[in-house]
Amino acid sequence: MTHVDVVALDGPSGTGKSTVSRRLALRLGARYLDTGSMYRAATVAVLRSGVAPDDAAAVARVVAAAQITPSTDPAAPGILLDGEPVDVAIRSAEVTAAVSAVSAVPAVRTQLVALQRTVIAAAGTAGIVVEGRDIGSVVCPDAVPKVYLTASAQVRAQRRAGEIGSDVSAVAADIERRDSLDSGRAVSPLAKAADAIELDTTHLDVDGVVDALVDLVRKARSDG
């Protein structure tokens, strides 16, 4: 698989990563990987085990024993935990509150980054669109193009609140909390790769973002 077959989309919550990543993969005829769902599945495993999310050693043991299997079909995204679909469970308030702590455990990131790279390699010549928070900087630094999605804080909160049916002010506070934790963690923090292209989605609808991304991919392939 050549580097140009991997499209990396990074950015914080509420920038539209999941929606536009899936649609981009469909437009390109590529596979799709939501790395965030993998960390959420790991968090489900931790919560079900009764282990405290801030007990790094115990969290690492639980996640090491868990079998996390993501779907790479953009038309049917999903995630299995030990063979069980957990697509609903990973979006619960409890998981959202704990996922940053679980994701910050170095051993968890090491395990899941290795799994993500295996999934990426398995996409072969079909290529793959990978979304997350450290794809361009850590998981696949040779991806072309690398895109960092942004949006205003208000728009991000509105989008996220619409997705989960919650109060905008509460969602805004939670996004700010997660941004701080994700950007400040010692291992693989949320950060824009030095050579990533920043795309502000504040004033773009989904189709507008996907069109812009398709243009970036086509340019990368023609330049490559």
Give the DSSP letter string of the chain.
--GGGEEEEE--TTS-HHHHHHHHHHHHT-EEEEHHHHHHHHHHHHHHHT--TT-HHHHHHHHHH--EEE---TTS--EEETTEE-TTGGGSHHHHHHHHHHHT-HHHHHHHHHHHHHHHHHTGGG-EEEEESSIIIII-TT-SSEEEEE--HHHHHHHHHHHHT--HHHHHHHHHHHHHHHHH-SSS-S---TTPEEEE-TT--HHHHHHHHHHHHHHHHHH-
Q: Mean pLDDT, to the nearest integer, of 149-171?
A: 80
Encoding tokens for residue 31? 């596979």
Closest alpha carbon to 42 in 5, 89, 93: 89
Give the lowest-confidence range in 20-29, 119-128, 159-168, 197-206: 159-168
Half-sphere exposure of 20 (CA within 13 A, CB side): 30
Closest alpha carbon to 42 in 65, 72, 17: 65
Indicate the pLDDT class of residue 74, thresholds 50, 70 and 90: very high
pLDDT digits (tens, 9 = 90+) for 92-151: 989 999 999 999 999 999 999 999 999 999 998 889 999 999 999 999 999 999 999 998
Task: Tell me the pTM.
Answer: 0.88
In the chain, how many domains are there?
Answer: 1
Residue with tokens 């910050």, as numbered in its chain: 104
Residues whose CB is less than 8 angstroms from the CB of residue 126 and which lie 6 or more positions away in sequence, other chains included: 5, 29, 30, 31
For residue 38, the model assigns a pLDDT of 98
C-alpha triplet 143, 148, 151: angle, nearest 5°: 160
Strand 128-132 and strand 31-34: the pairing is parallel
For residue 4, pLDDT beyond 60: no
C-alpha triplet 100, 62, 136: angle, nearest 5°: 45
Range of the domain at 89: 3-223
For residue 2, pLDDT beyond 60: no
Q: How long a stretch of residues is the chain?
A: 224
Q: For the domain that residue 126 is a member of, what is the CATH number?
A: 3.40.50.300
